[in-house]
Amino acid sequence: MQYDEVIAVYFADPTADGTVPEPTRRASVARRLRDAIEPIAMHPVWSRTTNEAQAALGLDFFSGYAWGRAAALGEPAPAIVVSSFAVFEPGLIGGVYDAGRKICGRDQLLATRFSATTASLTAVLDGTGGDLPAVAARLREAALGLDQAGRPLYAGLAAIPLSDDPVEVLWRSAEMIREHRGDSHIAACVAAGLDPIAMSILTELWVGYPLGEYSGSRGWAPEALAACADRLRAQGLLDGEQLSAEGLAFRERIEDATDTAQAQLVARLGDDVEGLLAHLNQWSARCVEAGAFPPNAYKRAAG
């Protein structure tokens, strides 16, 4: 799919009435940081500037997304990307990634992605004041040197040198923090015995999506989604098309485990976390207003 086709689908906003996902209302500091940085971290995915630059290389939206994220890992076999991304239907994400890496090389992709994303985010954040370099440096200090064990996407990103541009530092530090939490969350889900579809269904219902809406966007066939939902009902985790009380408690335990895996990061943030989050939320709001991230609060909370 091309960029404008994707925007037409993903920028529909069921939360335009001001709906706030329940997990966002009562989030921990670690979770609030994740939600605050999401539009910044994912700027290359949703920015028109970056997508147009990647289109000039021959990549469409999804091949740019898959190859762009996977490039942190080097140039792995498709099975490694399937494993690292975790929640996508294997044939879909492996095939899209493989097609993308055959279109352009990693060095060319990374150079294009970095320059276009930095230019786009610089324009979006123009006029936000003089706090950006200090906040970017603070995020960089928190993001670099975190435990890499079991965190392949984070480890790959941390190995790519940072420039001195404060906007690039802000974006790439946010991206590292995002993937560190994402890697940790996948580990928590696997430890809890979840397969990829179950991970997606429990998250979508926990956030507030209808059953199948978010998980279906990951390429799973309706029959596979229905079969997984039946298994979750049999386990007592679903009641009809909603989380049961047991299912909610189960998903909350996974979130708690994910937060625990972020303890080192939270400790590194230092004092005045509220001030840091205020800056990040303000700048993320700029990304949404600029059309460089979906306005849907469920999408922001789900990742």
Residue 125 and residue 294: Cα distance in Å, rounded? 17
List pLDDT tens digits, range 246-303. Answer: 999 999 999 999 999 999 999 999 889 999 999 999 999 999 999 999 999 999 999 8
Residue 210: DSSP 8-state = P
Lowest-pLDDT range of 33-47, 98-112, 122-136:
122-136
pTM (2 d.p.): 0.96
Average confidence (pLDDT) over 67-79: 98
pLDDT at 216 (0 to 100)? 95
pLDDT class for 130, splitting at 50, 70, 90?
confident
Q: What is the mean pLDDT of residues 144-168?
A: 97
Residue 219 above 90 pLDDT?
A: yes
Please tell me the predicted confidence (pLDDT) of residue 211.
97
pLDDT tens sequence across 14-69: 898 988 888 888 899 999 999 999 999 999 999 999 999 999 999 999 999 999 99
Structure tokens at 207: 């956030």
CB 218 within 8 A of CB 88: yes
Q: For 49, what's the count of Cα atoms within 13 Å in the CB-facing half-sphere?
A: 19
Cα–Cα distance measured from residue 73 to residue 76, given in angstroms and rounded to the nearest whole number: 6
Task: Pick the closest to residue 154 from 181, 135, 136 (CA basis).
Answer: 181
Mean pLDDT over each residue of the chain, to the nearest integer: 96
- What band does 175 get if pLDDT is binned at 50, 70 and 90? very high
Please tell me the predicted confidence (pLDDT) of residue 1. 81
Give the contacts of 134 (CB within 8 A, at least 6 positions apart): none
